[in-house]
Structure formats: structure tokens, C-alpha cells
Chain A
Amino acid sequence: MSDASLRILVIDDNAVRASIIEDGLREAGLSDVTVIIEMRGLLRQIVEADPDVVFIDLENPNRDVLEQMFQVSRTVRRPVAMFVDRSDAASIEAAIDAGVSAYVVDGLRKERVKPILDMAISRFNAFNRLRDELEHAKQALEDRKVIDKAKGILMKTRGIGEEEAYALLRKTAMNESRRVADIAQGLVTASKLLG
């Protein structure tokens, strides 16, 4: 059995992340990848996929469901053990840091599964970075909006220009060791309260 014939199952109700992992696995020459996004009838879907390796994201409460299924080997065809090797704490740690858990059918050699596990971990990490960047971008947009509002308030109440208003916000932020956006938010809130 070549690696390409390994059946890999990805369980993730986040469709974007699931597809990122799926793409990565396919790029690495693993063509037999099944993705489960819909959690209904999970057991039936797993039995149908009959996987050698299962990846599930840690935020998914169905991890507990999965583990029991693997203990009851009558339901899923073969007994499954968690991770590559139960003594391999480093792999488990890396996977959990990335936010993924892996289950591997007993009897699969460690050296065959390790690269797949590493691939999944790096994909999970890539997704997390992507999400962080998105959060940052969102935050930056929110910040800009509130700063614009605060500038408007200052310009109106103090009769100053835009640049001067921003300089005032920045100076206050520096004096108080806070972010400009936080100072702006405070000003907007206060002005709402004062009507």
C-alpha cells in the first residue's frame, strides 16, 4: 500500500479550514481524502469512509463521540488508536497546539503517518494564521472607524482641523500609554452619554 492509497478522513465543521487541509493533503499526493462537515449521522459517515487516519479539530465536541466509536471496534471496522504512537508526546503536543487531533488505525507504521500528521498540523497552523490576520484586519477597520468618529467630534466641539484632532488623540494616547483607538472609543462613548 503506497501513501497515495491511504484513506484519510477530515472531520471539521469549518468548511474553509477543512478545504485548506484537503488541498494540502492532495498536493502532497494523497488523493483519497474525505471531508465530513455535516455532523449528523457521524458514525455512518465514518463507517462509509473507512479511514486509515482521522483528523478532527479540537473545537469539535464530537471528539468524545469519535473516541468511544474507536473503543467499540465492532462499530468501526478496525481498532483505532490516538495519534501515531501513544508514546509520541511531541507529536500530540504539536497537533494540539495547532488545534487538531489525529487518530490512526493501529498497525500503520509510524514513519508512514508522521509526514501526513505534520502536513495536517502545518495546514491547521496556516489556517490559524489566516484567521489571526483576518481578525487583525477587522480590528484595524473598526479602529479606523472609531478614530474617524472621534476626530469628527473633536473638530466640531473644538473647532480644529482634522490633522490637529488626530494629533490631540495621539498625544493623549501617548500620555496615558494607551492605544489611539481606545482613547477614541472613550471619547465617542462619553460624547454619546453627554448627548
Chain B
Amino acid sequence: MTLSRPTAAETSAQSDETATLTIGFIPLVDCAILVAAAEKGFAEAEGLQLALVRETSWANIRDRAMLGHFDAAQMLAPLPIASTLGAGGHLQVPMVAPFSLGLGGNAITLSEQLWSALEADGAELSDGPEKTVGHLARHVARRKAEGRDPLTLATVYPFSGHNYELRYWLASGGIDPDRDVRLVVLPPPFMVDALAEGQVDGFCVGEPWNSLAVEKGVGVIAATKSALWRQGPDKVLGLRRRFAEEHPERLEALIRALYRAARWASDPGHLDELAGLLSRPAYVGGSPAVMQAALSGRITRRKGVASGEIPDFLVFHAHAANFPWQSHALWFYSQMVRWGQVPYRSEDLARVRQVYRPDIYRAALKSTDADLPNASAKVEGALKTPTPVASRSGRMVLGPDGFFDGRLFDPDDVEGYLRSIGVEV
């Protein structure tokens, strides 16, 4: 159904007592914080009513957020950056991301058939991403030599962590994602069927779609995002900068509600209830068991093969997961440049940095017991073990974080990083 226009900004202006905020979301496990905020009274406690609107495509989320149909939305973490830069030939609207909706949560799934071919080459489930992509690279080379069609791999959207982590992984194994394979976009609900029917040979998507492919026996989870970039960001709360400027109190109230909802959602004691909420058809739908697996990181990577808990598979709250690190924004920008989505312009660095808004996050939470890091950016990949960092309470522990190839990303030297991965700037 079409959403009529007065829903967002106008209704939120109706009353100071309870403001209604219209928030768009996509049926994925990581809409959990929004659902918990709306269903468990966290929004209400801040004088907010959340009208959650389920959407079918990221393009809809983008357009409706840009036009103000939505006050805010669950967004792929690079999306507010792309919109601010006007990348992809769409409207250019300055957006902000003042809150991260979680770290990790994605995985790369390959078809059973493709995985069996890698296995014949010596691949094992217990291999790290580096080894697995080596097998994949040999397979890709062999296909080329035999004159067979290149592999087709799907992601969810061009400006997505999924796209960048898949490309990063492929490139690390010497596979050129634009030449050696075909990368396509598929909506998450179509992924499993496309894999089963052989239309795609693999995909990178959020849960529950990887687990569903495994459950159906058509896919094998070759790598989780947590193995590719531990503590890597995935979704954020995104909204127009104008809304943030016009309604700072309302936005701060929303951030407090989401912060408490994130804490609630990350409590293992609430796993059953959260899985039950998410499996309602109005939110994600599907079986609570599959939701539980994704939420707890106890996912099965291959049908019939028991696997243990995957550390940091999906982080809703721990390790300052909700903090909008500006280094995340700059990393995403570096990948947009790397893959030719936007031209590199040194003057864009400051614009990109300003999309992620630790200042709003801090302002919203200063009156609460939330711990706040002193820094707004960090060198990504620097923490090999859990490390205490400077914060308001002095007790904040981050990490371990990092990319599987051991590469560091210094947000103060984006140009140096780009050169180190072979991009001319």
C-alpha cells in the first residue's frame, strides 16, 4: 500500500506528549532493535510512538527516507553516505547515521554443488576465509580455462556491507569481482530459491536467509561476516540531516529508546521472546527456531554438520556496537571508491565523516548510564584481543576486531589505504 504523505513529519509535530515517528524497515533479523523498541515499551518510556513500516526494497527505504515519508529507517550502513554524496544517480539528500543497529549478522553462502567442488579441491568448513577463497579462486580459474560460464553471486544492494565484504573477500583471493564472476542483486526473500534453482551459485545476505538455505540443504555457509571483518558494521539508523536539525529532542529520545532496546535484545534471557516477536508475519516471519539460531550465533553452516557458536556473529549491543564510528563511514567510502561507485575527492572525506554522528549519540545518552567512548574514530582492525579504551566510565572494552587478511584501516590516511590496495588517488 502507498503511504500517504502526512504520516511522517506532520504527525510527529502533532503533540509534544507522544510524538509518532514513522520508521521504515526491511524484514531481516537485524530489525530486532527497532521491533524491541516498539514492542517492549522503550519508545513509550521516551514519549514516542513508533510506527514501523515494512518495506520490500532498499530503494524504497532510500526514497521514502529522502522524501520524508519516513522520519528514519533501518538502513544498510553505506546507504546514508551514498545518499549524501548523491552516488548512483539518485537524489542527493544529506543524511545522518547517529546510531548503529548492530555489527555482523551476514554470511556468504555457496551452493551445495559449488561447495562440493571446492571440497574436492581440499576445502574444509573449518578453514578460514583466506583458505576458502583460495579454493574458490582455483575453481574460478578452472571454469575459465574450460570455457564455462562464470559463477554468479548475488548481494542485496550495490551500496551495502554485503557487496563490499563479498568483493573484499573475492579480491583477496585474486578474483576480480567485476570480471571473473557475475555479481547481481537479488532481494533477500528470493535468494534461497535462486540458489536452489541454480540461477546463482552463491550470495551474501543477512539472516535468516543463509540459515534457510542450509536448512533446505541447498547452500553451505562458506564465511560469516564476523570471520571477514570482526565487529564490522552492517545496519544503521539513517535519517535526513534536516530532521536531526529540526527535531533534536525527538531524535535523542529515539536514540535512548533504541539504546535500551539494544541492551534488552542482546540479553540471552530474552532470546525466546525476541525470536517470537521477530517471527510474527508483520515483522520478519518464519520459524522462531531459525530466528533463535541467528540471534544467538549458533548457526549451522552445513546441513547435518553440527557447528558451535560463532563468536560475535551478530552483535546488538556489546563492544559499543551502537556507537556510530566515523572510521566505519570512511571505510565504506574507501570501498565505494575502490569499486568505482564514486570518484575519490579528498574534500568528500570530511562530508563522509560527518554522516556518522557520534556527537548526536553522545548528546542523547549523556544523561543515562551508557558508557561513551572518548574517540569518534578508531583504526579498524587494530585490536587483536579485547582491549580497554578511554571512555566516560573508563571501563569500556572493545574488540577483538579486524579484517581476516590482517589489513589495517587508518581513518586519517584513507589515501594511503587506497594506494595500498592498488587504487590510484
Q: Which residues of A contact B (CB under 8 A)?
A: 43, 58-65, 67-71, 79, 81-82, 86-87, 89, 92-93, 96-99, 101, 128
With A67-B158, A92-B67 as given contacts, are A61 and B90 in contact (CB-CB < 8 Å)? no
Q: Are B2 and A61 in contact (CB under 8 A)?
A: no
Q: Are A86 and B56 in contact (CB under 8 A)?
A: no
Chain B facing A: main interface SS: loop
Bound complex: CA A43 to CA B186 (Å): 11
Return A9 CB to nearest CB of chain B, in Å: 17
Q: Are A58 and B4 in contact (CB under 8 A)?
A: no
Q: Are B56 and A71 in contact (CB under 8 A)?
A: no
With A62-B187, A64-B157 as given contacts, are A89 and B67 in contact (CB-CB < 8 Å)? yes
Interface residue tally of chain B, by bracket? 20 to 34
Bound complex: CA A59 to CA B53 (Å): 13
Return B143 CB to nearest CB of chain A, in Å: 20
Return B159 CB to nearest CB of chain A, in Å: 10
Give the interface segment out of B57-65, B96-104, B269-277.
B57-65
B114 at the interface (CB under 8 A from A): no
Q: Are A61 and B67 in contact (CB under 8 A)?
A: no
Q: Are A81 and B156 in contact (CB under 8 A)?
A: no
Contacts of A69 in B (CB 8 A): 185
With A67-B59, A93-B67 as given contacts, are A86 and B89 in contact (CB-CB < 8 Å)? yes
B217 at the interface (CB under 8 A from A): no
Bound complex: CA A96 to CA B90 (Å): 14
Closest chain A residue, CB of each to CB of B197: A40
Q: Which residues of B contact A (CB under 8 A)?
A: 1-2, 4-5, 56-60, 63-64, 67, 69, 86, 88-92, 156-158, 184-187, 189-190, 341
Return A54 CB to nearest CB of chain B, in Å: 13
Q: Are A101 and B59 in contact (CB under 8 A)?
A: yes
Option from A61, A82, A98 in Cβ contact (under 8 Å) with B89? A82
Bound complex: CA A81 to CA B92 (Å): 13
Q: Are B157 and A68 in contact (CB under 8 A)?
A: yes
Bound complex: CA A24 to CA B91 (Å): 28
Q: Are B185 and A68 in contact (CB under 8 A)?
A: yes
Bound complex: CA A58 to CA B69 (Å): 14
Return B339 CB to nearest CB of chain A, in Å: 11
